[in-house]
A = this chain, B = another copy of it.
Amino acid sequence: MIEKVLIANRGEIALRVIKTCKALGIKTVAVFSDEDRNSLHVKNATESYYIGEAAPAKSYLNQEKILDVMLSSGTDAVHPGYGFLSENDDFARLCEKNKINFIGPSADSMNLCGDKMRCKEAMLKAKVPTVPGSPDLTKDADDAEKIANDIGYPVMLKSVYGGGGRGIRIVNTDQELRDAYETVTAESIAAVGKSAIIVEKFLEKTRHIEYQMCRDNHGNAVHLFERECSIQRRNQKLIEQTPSPVVDEAKREEIGELVVKAAEAVDYTNLGTAEFLRADNGEFYFIEINARLQVEHPISEMVSGLDFVKLQLDIANGEPLPFKQSDLKMNGYAIECRINAEDTFLDFAPSTGPVPDVTIPSGPNVRCDTYLYPGCTVSPFYDSLMAKLCTWGQTFEESRLRMLNALNDFYIQGVDTSIPLYKTILKTDEYKNGQLSTDFLKRYDMINRLKEDIKNEIKEKQLPATAAAIMYSEFFHSKVQSSNGTNSNWKTNG
């Protein structure tokens, strides 16, 4: 039985894991870099250990150091979160060797999932359809160019070690391909220390639909329904929802059966995600397995009623799944907005710095997973996800309205955020009608519509804004001129 879990991560996901462990009476061990000395995960864990400098390679990716902490603190299990070491099979193997329960799939299965080519082969063997593309890793940019010309532009360059949209570029010409090849290589090396690139046909007007996989150590497997994550920027998800507007009960079951096959094909254990592209003609193509808990898992928790971290712990403890597929029912509609620190109008460039004040939305069927607190700092060393705002409703409309309300309540001082963009998106007919695709933002000209919305919002606030300016002048510029009488006429200065 797991009694003490080290969380090899930071930010909201570390807090998320701590929350469930605390409720279950399981001790938690946090690790932190210089940058995270004052972070909430350090304060909420049972114990906290310093592991090095801010740069991930010096701390959150430092396997030896993390292993030291696990051994010296008497930890019996490790939760890797997402990113960092979560899909590093070397780390999983290191834990296995040191008899530390790695909460996730086995190192071998993770290795197979991470190797996009071998994984694809396994899927083809299991009759799970995949996207047309290079049969193997590219040797170099020349090789990639040759394959691209064979299958025809546009193609996608993809680091097999990438994840969450990083290490991916869509290119239309040989020159673009050559530039991108270098960048993807560099990003992949910076993120996980290695790089290997494949080329795939880029399908247009596709939807990103993924399935939560769940398989125990005894071979029992189920899927926990789909999530549609089509609203993206730079191949990274922005807004997710479940159920998908284009998946009905029959389709859910049909693809769900493929997902169970996929999990079996790679001998996957614990929770994971099978990602699919859905072409405009309704066909589903397997793209990859994410061998970890996803950022967007809360919306699946909301519609399934399950606590996924508890489920992960139970599976890691060797317990058999407590349910069969037929026991699982989807209940209601959930939406997640990823609240990023970024400047929407500057091609989503990162925005970092101190956050002197923050108001976190709350209320019935609103959930906000975040590391933010008044006085915290958004660090340039880690990714731009500050908060995950999720809402649930008995209908999609209820969920959408709650999200709009919660977005309005969310105030983050000091950094640019994606909140205004989401307000605009959620109000469009295209979003309401479920006309989703991975190029949603461009297709429907969202950035310009956001600009229009902001202009209108300011226009509506002209009167109180002017009043606020008047009172400021009154109080902080002309104080000396004022009389104290209750009914005296004050003159404005100027």
| A interface residues with partner B (beta carbon < 8 Å) | 19, 22-25, 298, 301, 305-307, 310, 331-332, 360, 362-364, 367-368, 394, 398, 401-402, 404-405, 408
Contacts and interface: CB of A to CB of B under 8 A. Distances in A.
Nearest to A404: B23
A16 to B, nearest CB: 8
Given A23-B401, A298-B364, A362-B367, 14 more contacts: A19-B363, A19-B364, A19-B405, A23-B398, A23-B404, A24-B401, A305-B331, A305-B332, A305-B394, A307-B394, A307-B398, A360-B362, A363-B367, A364-B367
Contacts of A23: 398, 401-402, 404-405
Nearest to A44: B409
A96 to B, nearest CB: 30
Contacts of A24: 401
Nearest to A374: B374
A425 B103 CA distance: 34
Point out which of A19, A306, A364, A367 has the most chain B C-beta atoms below 10 A from its C-beta: A364
A363 B302 CA distance: 12
* Copies held by the complex: 2
A78 B310 CA distance: 44
A14 to B, nearest CB: 14
Contacts of A362: 360, 362, 367-368
Contacts of A307: 364, 394, 398
A298 B401 CA distance: 19
27 contacts: A19-B363, A19-B364, A19-B405, A22-B405, A22-B408, A23-B398, A23-B401, A23-B404, A23-B405, A24-B401, A25-B401, A298-B364, A301-B364, A305-B331, A305-B332, A305-B394, A307-B364, A307-B394, A307-B398, A310-B398, A331-B331, A360-B362, A362-B362, A362-B367, A362-B368, A363-B367, A364-B367
B301 A394 contact: no
Point out which of A301, A310, A363 has the most chain B C-beta atoms below 10 A from its C-beta: A363
Point out which of A23, A307, A367 has the most chain B C-beta atoms below 10 A from its C-beta: A23
Contacts of A298: 364
Contacts of A331: 305, 331
A11 to B, nearest CB: 15
A402 B402 CA distance: 23
A394 B298 CA distance: 15
A128 B405 CA distance: 43
A367 B25 CA distance: 21
A298 B368 CA distance: 19
Nearest to A309: B364
Contacts of A368: 362
A449 B301 CA distance: 36
A442 B171 CA distance: 74
Contacts of A405: 19, 22-23
Nearest to A298: B364
A305 B394 CA distance: 6
Contacts of A404: 23
Nearest to A401: B23
A412 to B, nearest CB: 16
A371 to B, nearest CB: 13
A390 to B, nearest CB: 9
A306 to B, nearest CB: 7
A360 B368 CA distance: 13
